[in-house]
């Protein structure tokens, strides 16, 4: 189905969004990706990925609370949807299946 | 916490973010950015955080952000009835244009002139850059140029040795095809008893068709040019001289009374944008018969060029290495050392030819740039008119804007309205401009005698695109500012109709713009006058010989034997003596500005070679060209066929190291391996029309070299004299056309580059000042209308007409004075830059500047004065009554 394909970076962002549960927004996602994978990603890239995921229906968003650290500005919190979880499952299943198909080389 | 207040994200980045970022997304993005900024600040320090912030702001400016914002924008859109709105804009625009007819006419005529000149220049540039682009292998075809070092500097030649093509074919690998051509610029053919003349015959070999695209009509293409004495003619030639296409094949004619040619094929005439505008293609083997000295001639270059086609993967380096081998193998040793071949892409042979020559003419890129600058200056002056008049008029439209705003128009819509008005005017101007451009191009085509500039804009996407571009650009340029100003009025202010406020602001801008216009126009005028001055300087400087009223008759029996030639000359001379109106005539090789380039040396020996020119003429050469003999004796009238005693000019004497002309008599020097003795010294004359350097010049009596006659005629009864010359010619040479040229025409052609530039510049200057004055007229009329009451009251209180005139004209004249002060130094620099490469640059004198200032003041004064006189002479009764 067009539009539901999950890119590598999108998959990563989606996973992180799942991990962060109810505290996933631009900054935290970017930071978590940095911590977990060592990749430094830009905020706009994360936002772009989140927008796309939302368009595909894998996450949903709402405006959350403001903090002092943000100069009193509200943040948009992203939560993974059921469709998002299913998509992740599907990707994992496909990976596992493909892994299983790699012929084991006899040790020489 | 305190540090947070000390350090802030960069302000301007923030402002940029707020500017582009849609409101719905601004809060969350800004929040994220700020949070991230303080995080970075803590971890990496202030500068890293700032850089990071800036980069992020820039990165957020991407299409995804905007798309997201659009989706999030859940406020329902106001749906405006756009059609009705546009319709209303259109109607009010038309009404407004109708109401202000002067304004419309001034704008449309100014803009259309500007647009027309842009289009014409565009078409010219497109045509001139398209030369030889149509060949299917154009990007792989190269001309082999000749680059030789001589004692007096490098010589660049687009032509090359005649046998070069054959040599390359044999020795060089990596080439798909090689062809050599040889050009006859003018030639005559004899068919039965008729003699015709045509231009551009090319000797070409069979491989010509593998290199260049030729459209074949009839005949055997594979073999057409292999045998000697065969010729391929164009369809035009066949129709003109051979009685039609069906009769052409197998037909024969005599070329230059030398060789008989048989037609083996018919091809379509080439387009005009080529360096090979051939009318016939003669087989290359014929050249051996036609010009025996071209066989194996590795010493001199005449009118032959060599072209190669690279294989797809060939690199020039590989070819150059092989060229060196050819040079070493075929050229004489010391000659070879100073010779290089240089590959020039075919597409460059017209506009980037540099100092290399070609068969037709050059149109260097800098000239195109100058033309483009002139055209855009005119367009700019016209745009300024528009801006000026629109802002001047804006007060009258303030009420309209106020009412529209009250009724709910927003600023964007109002801008749209005024832009659509600008668009309408520009559209009208474009349509008029297209018509003007068409007329201009027809004129240019007629002027250059051909059908070069094509203007079928409906068929050519490039022109259509260009016109659309102009339309858009001028609409934006001319319409943006007025639209911006007009739409900015606050409704309360606009409806209160306090007309005086805000006037001074617009006025200073208008003054600035008028200033710019007149700076542009005066630069154009000044540069034009500087050019005129320069051309006149070259034309009027004493050349040291006369070129007026000299008729040149080339073509005298180039193929006859020397004895025969002498006989013919004597016969023709007798005939000429019977023609009344001939003051003097001479048989010669070339005019004083022509001749062959030779190397010579004197006492210094062979290591001390110099370069100069040699010419051949008889005893009346000096008399005919009115040259002065300083010392020694002229040739005697009964000279034998060749004399080893020669006449030289002062420069040659100096070059040989002899102190005085008198001392030079009897001196011996070597020219091309021949010993020559000086018998007379001619006073120096300019050997080249646009150079100040004078070449060493030798004049020898050598009748076998005589290639024509130069005849000085009396300036009264010119037609009769010419008819007499023609009759004399016919009686001696019935087989040859009598094709005379005037020497001053020949000279004039040498100033071609300056002349072309001058023509375009003067057109530009005229247009510039005209459009500028149009604008000035418009401005003054608005001022006059606005101040009608003031004038009325002033008159009632006793002001005189002249006093009121002064009020109006003073400002314009002051503006022109200021603009002149700015324009003069700029034009001075531009003039110097334009003429940079010429020797004897004439420094523009004060007179030029005074003349320009006076002319501009005069033209503008008349324009302004006329309009203000009308305003001033109005009866106060009329002007005060209107309420």
Q: What is the pLDDT of residues B698-724, one digit of tens each?
A: 998 887 778 888 899 888 888 888 888
Strand partners, A61: A78
Instruction: Tell me the mean pLDDT in the region B748-765.
Output: 79
CA distance B4 to chain A (A): 9
B634-664: pLDDT as tens digits? 888 877 777 788 899 988 888 888 888 888 8
Instruction: Tell me the mean pLDDT in the region B544-570.
Output: 71
Q: Where does a domain end: B738, B769, B795? A: B738
B588-632: pLDDT as tens digits? 888 888 888 888 888 777 777 888 889 988 888 888 888 888 888
Q: B34 and A44: CB-CB below 8 Å? A: no
Strand partners, B682: B629, B649
- With 60 as the cut, is the pLDDT of residue B503 above it? no
B202, B320: one domain: yes
Helix (H) / strand (E) containing B155: strand B153-157
Q: Is residue B670 part of a domain?
A: yes
B525-534: pLDDT as tens digits? 888 888 888 8
Chain A nearest-CA residue for B38: A69
A53-78: pLDDT as tens digits? 988 889 998 888 777 778 788 888 99
Instruction: Tell me the mean pLDDT in the region B823-833.
Output: 87
Q: How many CB atoms within 10 Å of residue B740?
A: 19
Q: Report residue B560's pLDDT band, with 50, 70 and 90 as the boundaries.
A: low
Instruction: Tell me the mean pLDDT in the region B338-366.
Output: 83
- With 60 as the cut, is the pLDDT of residue B278 above it? yes
B199, B304: one domain: yes
Chain A with chain B: Cβ pairs closer than 8 A: 67
In angstroms, rounded to a whole number, what is the distance separating the alpha carbons of residues B419 and B431? 18
Instruction: Count how many domains chain B has.
Output: 3
- With 50 as the cut, is the pLDDT of residue B501 above it? no
> Is the Cβ of A74 closer than 8 Å to some Cβ of chain B?
yes
What is the pLDDT at residue B777? 85
In angstroms, rounded to a whole number, what is the distance separating the alpha carbons of residues B765 and B521? 6
In angstroms, rounded to a whole number, what is the distance separating the alpha carbons of residues B685 and B592? 8
Q: B31 and A75: CB-CB below 8 Å? A: yes
- Domain of residue B59: give its range: 2-72
CA distance A69 to chain B (A): 6
User: Of B381, B401, B506, which Cα lies nearest the Cα of B107?
Assistant: B381
Q: A47 and B55: CB-CB below 8 Å? A: no
DSSP per-residue codes, B594-626: --EEEEEE-TT-TTS-EEEEEEEB-TTHHHHTT
- Domain of residue A55: give its range: 8-96
B169, B291: one domain: yes
Partners of A43 on chain B (C-beta within 8 Å) are 32-33, 36, 56, 59-60
Instruction: Tell me the mean pLDDT in the region A99-108.
Output: 77
- Which of B18, B35, B36 to probe by mutation at the A interface, max A CB count within 10 Å? B35
Q: Is residue B341 part of a domain?
A: yes
Contact (CB, 8 A) for B589 and B710: no
In angstroms, rounded to a whole number, what is the distance separating the alpha carbons of residues B823 and B829? 10
Q: DSSP class of residue A73?
A: -
- Which of A41, A51, A60, A62 to probe by mutation at the B interface, max B CB count within 10 Å? A51
Q: Is residue A19 part of a domain?
A: yes
What is the pLDDT at residue A80? 92
In angstroms, rounded to a whole number, what is the distance separating the alpha carbons of residues A31 and A15? 13
What is the pLDDT at residue A1? 41
Q: How many CB atoms within 10 Å of residue B150?
A: 13
B147, B68: one domain: no
- With 50 as the cut, is the pLDDT of residue B413 above it? yes
Q: A27 and B65: CB-CB below 8 Å? A: no
- With 90 as the cut, is the pLDDT of residue B199 above it? no
Mean pLDDT of chain B: 83
Q: Report residue B234's pLDDT band, with 50, 70 and 90 as the boundaries.
A: very high
Categorise residue A79: left if φ over 0, alpha if ψ from -120 to 50, beta otherwise.
Answer: beta
Q: Would you mind telling me the total number of residues written for chain B in this entry?
A: 883
- With 60 as the cut, is the pLDDT of residue B75 above it? no
B164, B280: one domain: yes
In angstroms, rounded to a whole number, what is the distance separating the alpha carbons of residues B518 and B511? 11
Q: Which long-range contacts (CB under 8 A, 24 or more apart) does B458-467 make?
A: B462/B126, B463/B119, B463/B122, B463/B123, B463/B126, B466/B119, B466/B122, B467/B119, B467/B430, B467/B434
CATH at residue A65? 1.10.10.10
Q: Is residue B357 part of a domain?
A: no
B30, B166: one domain: no
Question: Cβ-count burial of B804 within 10 angstroms (0-12 exposed, 13-18 middle, 19+ buried)?
Answer: buried
Q: Is residue A17 part of a domain?
A: yes
Instruction: Tell me the mean pLDDT in the region B825-829.
Output: 89
Q: B30 and A48: CB-CB below 8 Å? A: no
B367-411: pLDDT as tens digits? 888 888 888 888 888 888 888 887 777 767 777 888 888 887 778
Q: Is residue A61 part of a domain?
A: yes
What is the pLDDT at residue B500? 47
In angstroms, rounded to a whole number, what is the distance separating the alpha carbons of residues A58 and B450? 70
Instruction: Count how many domains chain A has.
Output: 1
What is the pLDDT at residue A106? 67
In angstroms, rounded to a whole number, what is the distance separating the alpha carbons of residues B413 and B85? 9
Instruction: Tell me the mean pLDDT in the region B804-816.
Output: 85
Q: Where does a domain end: B47, B72, B97? A: B72
SS3 B545: coil
Which of residues B170 and B546 earns the better pLDDT score? B170
Which of A37-46, B71-80, B546-555 shows the highest mean pLDDT? A37-46
Contact (CB, 8 A) for B359 and B276: yes
Q: Is residue B33 part of a domain?
A: yes
Percent of all residues in chain B with a pLDDT value above 90, rounded to a whole number: 8
Q: Is residue B847 part of a domain?
A: no
Q: How far is CA B156 from the centre of its chain?
A: 22
Q: Where does a domain end: B24, B56, B72? A: B72
- With 50 as the cut, is the pLDDT of residue B206 above it? yes
Q: Is residue A44 part of a domain?
A: yes
Q: Report residue B764's pLDDT band, with 50, 70 and 90 as the boundaries.
A: confident
CA distance A26 to chain B (A): 6
- With 60 as the cut, is the pLDDT of residue A107 above it? no
User: Of B751, B755, B638, B747, which Cα lies nearest the Cα of B701?
Assistant: B638
Q: Is residue A107 part of a domain?
A: no
Q: DSSP class of residue B638?
A: T
B38, B165: one domain: no
- With 80 as the cut, is the pLDDT of residue B436 above it? yes
Q: Is residue B473 part of a domain?
A: no
CA distance A89 to chain B (A): 27
In angstroms, rounded to a whole number, what is the distance separating the alpha carbons of residues B174 and B171? 10
> Is the Cβ of A31 closer than 8 Å to some Cβ of chain B?
yes
CB nearest to B35's CB, from A27, A47, A52: A27
CA distance A13 to chain B (A): 16
- Which of B28, B36, B60, B66 to probe by mutation at the A interface, max A CB count within 10 Å? B28
B114-149: pLDDT as tens digits? 889 888 888 888 888 888 888 998 888 999 988 888
CB nearest to A48's CB, from B30, B34, B64: B64
Q: Is residue A80 part of a domain?
A: yes
Partners of A75 on chain B (C-beta within 8 Å) are 28, 31-32, 35
In angstroms, rounded to a whole number, what is the distance separating the alpha carbons of residues B625 and B542? 13
Q: Is residue B261 part of a domain?
A: yes
> Is the Cβ of A28 closer than 8 Å to some Cβ of chain B?
no
- With 80 as the cut, is the pLDDT of residue A24 above it? yes
Partners of B32 on chain A (C-beta within 8 Å) are 25-27, 43, 47, 70, 75
Question: Cβ-count burial of B786 within 10 angstroms (0-12 exposed, 13-18 middle, 19+ buried)?
Answer: middle
B65, B175: one domain: no
Q: A42 and B32: CB-CB below 8 Å? A: no
What is the pLDDT at residue B76? 45
B588, B725: one domain: yes
Partners of A76 on chain B (C-beta within 8 Å) are 28
Q: Report residue B280's pLDDT band, with 50, 70 and 90 as the boundaries.
A: very high
In angstroms, rounded to a whole number, what is the distance separating the alpha carbons of residues B867 and B809? 10
Q: How many CB atoms within 10 Å of residue B80?
A: 12
Partners of B27 on chain A (C-beta within 8 Å) are 73-74
- With 60 as the cut, is the pLDDT of residue B559 above it? no
B171, B310: one domain: yes
Q: A47 and B27: CB-CB below 8 Å? A: no
What is the pLDDT at residue B561? 57
- With 50 as the cut, is the pLDDT of residue B3 above it? no
Position of tokens 């035009």?
A: B236
Spell out which chain B residues touch chain A, with contact meaning CB-CB distance below 8 angstroms. Answer: 27-36, 38-39, 55-56, 59-60, 62, 64-65, 67-68, 71
Q: Is residue A68 part of a domain?
A: yes
B32, B145: one domain: no
């Amino acid at each position: 189905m067009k539009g539901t394909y999950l890119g590598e970076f999108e998959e990563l962002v989606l996973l992180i969004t799942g991990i962060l549960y109810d505290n996933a927004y631009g900054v935290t996602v970017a930071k978590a990706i940095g911590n977990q994978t060592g990749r430094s990603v830009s905020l706009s890239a994360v936002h772009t990925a989140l927008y796309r995921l939302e368009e595909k229906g894998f996450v949903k968003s709402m405006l959350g609370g403001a903090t002092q650290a943000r100069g009193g500005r509200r943040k948009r919190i992203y939560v993974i949807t059921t469709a998002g979880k299913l998509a992740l499952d599907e990707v994992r299943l496909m990976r596992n299946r493909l892994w299983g198909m790699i012929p084991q080389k006899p040790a020489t | 916490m305190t540090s947070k207040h000390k350090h802030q994200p960069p302000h301007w980045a923030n402002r940029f973010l707020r500017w582009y970022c849609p409101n719905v997304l601004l809060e969350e993005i800004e929040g994220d950015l700020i949070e991230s900024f303080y995080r970075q600040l803590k971890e990496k320090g202030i500068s890293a955080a700032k850089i990071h912030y800036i980069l992020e702001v820039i990165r957020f400016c991407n299409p995804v952000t905007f798309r997201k914002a659009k989706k999030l924008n859940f406020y329902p859109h106001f749906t405006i009835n756009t059609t009705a709105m546009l319709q209303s804009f259109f109607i009010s625009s038309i009404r407004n244009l109708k109401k202000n007819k002067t304004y419309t006419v001034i704008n449309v005529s100014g803009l259309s002139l500007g647009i027309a000149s842009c289009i014409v220049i565009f078409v010219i540039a497109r045509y001139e850059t398209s030369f030889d682009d149509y060949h299917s292998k154009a990007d792989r075809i190269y001309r082999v140029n000749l680059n030789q070092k001589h004692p007096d500097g490098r010589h660049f030649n687009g032509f090359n040795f005649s046998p070069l093509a054959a040599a390359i074919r044999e020795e060089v690998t990596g080439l798909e095809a090689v062809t050599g051509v040889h050009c006859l610029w003018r030639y005559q053919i004899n068919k039965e008893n008729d003699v015709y003349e045509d231009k551009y015959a090319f000797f070409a070999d069979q491989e010509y068709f593998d290199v260049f695209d030729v459209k074949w009509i009839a005949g055997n293409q594979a073999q057409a040019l292999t045998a000697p004495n065969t010729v391929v003619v164009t369809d035009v030639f066949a129709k003109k001289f051979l009685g039609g296409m069906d009769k052409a094949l197998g037909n024969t004619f005599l070329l230059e009374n030398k060789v008989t040619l048989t037609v083996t094929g018919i091809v379509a005439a080439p387009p005009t944008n080529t360096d090979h505008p051939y009318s016939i293609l003669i087989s290359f083997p014929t050249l051996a018969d036609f010009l025996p000295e071209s066989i194996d001639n590795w010493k001199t270059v005449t009118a032959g060029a060599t072209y190669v086609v690279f294989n797809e993967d060939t690199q020039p380096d590989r070819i150059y290495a092989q060229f060196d081998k050819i040079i070493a193998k075929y050229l004489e040793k010391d000659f070879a050392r100073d010779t290089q071949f240089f590959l020039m892409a075919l597409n460059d042979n017209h506009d980037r030819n540099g100092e290399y020559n070609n068969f037709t003419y050059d149109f260097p890129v800098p000239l195109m740039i100058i033309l483009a600058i002139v055209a855009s200056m005119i367009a700019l002056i016209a745009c300024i008119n528009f801006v000026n008049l629109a802002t001047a008029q804006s007060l009258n439209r303030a009420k309209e804007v106020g009412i529209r705003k009250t009724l709910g128009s927003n600023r964007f819509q109002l801008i749209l309205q005024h832009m659509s008005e600008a668009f309408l005017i520009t559209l009208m101007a474009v349509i008029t401009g297209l018509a003007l451009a068409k007329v201009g191009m027809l004129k240019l085509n007629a002027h250059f005698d051909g059908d070069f500039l094509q203007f079928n804009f409906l068929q050519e996407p490039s022109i259509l695109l260009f016109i659309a571009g102009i339309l858009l650009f001028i609409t934006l340029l001319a319409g943006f500012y007025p639209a911006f100003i007009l739409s900015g009025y606050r409704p309360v202010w606009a409806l209160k109709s306090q007309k005086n406020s805000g006037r001074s602001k617009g006025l200073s801008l208008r003054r600035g713009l008028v200033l710019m216009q007149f700076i542009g126009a005066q630069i154009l005028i000044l540069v034009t006058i500087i050019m005129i001055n320069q051309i006149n300087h070259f034309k009027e400087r004493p050349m040291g010989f006369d070129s007026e009223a000299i008729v040149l008759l080339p073509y005298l029996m180039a193929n006859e034997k020397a004895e025969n030639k002498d006989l013919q000359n004597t016969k023709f001379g007798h005939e000429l003596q019977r023609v009344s109106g001939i003051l003097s005539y001479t048989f010669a090789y070339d005019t004083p500005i022509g001749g062959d380039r030779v190397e010579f040396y004197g006492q210094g020996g062979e290591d001390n070679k110099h370069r100069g020119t040699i010419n051949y003429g008889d005893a009346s050469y000096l008399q005919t060209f009115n040259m002065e003999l300083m010392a020694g004796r002229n040739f005697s009238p009964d000279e034998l066929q060749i004399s080893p005693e020669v006449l030289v000019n002062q420069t040659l004497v100096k070059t040989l190291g002899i102190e005085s002309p008198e001392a030079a008599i009897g001196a011996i020097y070597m020219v091309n391996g021949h010993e020559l003795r000086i018998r007379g010294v001619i006073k120096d004359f300019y050997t080249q029309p646009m150079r100040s350097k004078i070449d060493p010049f030798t004049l020898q009596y050598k009748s076998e070299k005589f290639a024509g006659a130069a005849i000085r005629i009396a300036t009264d009864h010119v037609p009769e004299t010419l008819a007499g010359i023609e009759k004399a010619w016919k009686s001696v040479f019935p087989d040859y056309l009598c094709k005379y040229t005037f020497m001053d025409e020949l000279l004039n052609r040498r100033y071609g580059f300056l002349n072309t530039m001058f023509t375009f510049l003067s057109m530009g200057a005229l247009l510039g000042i005209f459009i500028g004055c149009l604008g000035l007229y418009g401005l003054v009329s608005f001022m006059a209308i606005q101040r009608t009451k003031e004038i009325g009251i002033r008159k009632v209180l006793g002001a005189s007409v002249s006093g009121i005139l002064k009020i109006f004209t003073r400002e314009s004249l002051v503006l022109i004075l200021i603009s002149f002060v700015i324009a003069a130094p700029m034009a001075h620099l531009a003039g110097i830059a334009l003429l940079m490469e010429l020797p004897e640059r004439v420094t523009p004198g004060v007179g030029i500047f005074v003349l320009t200032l006076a002319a501009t003041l005069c033209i503008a004064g008349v324009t302004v004065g006329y309009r203000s006189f009308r305003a001033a002479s109005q009866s106060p009764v009329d002007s005060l009554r209107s309420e």
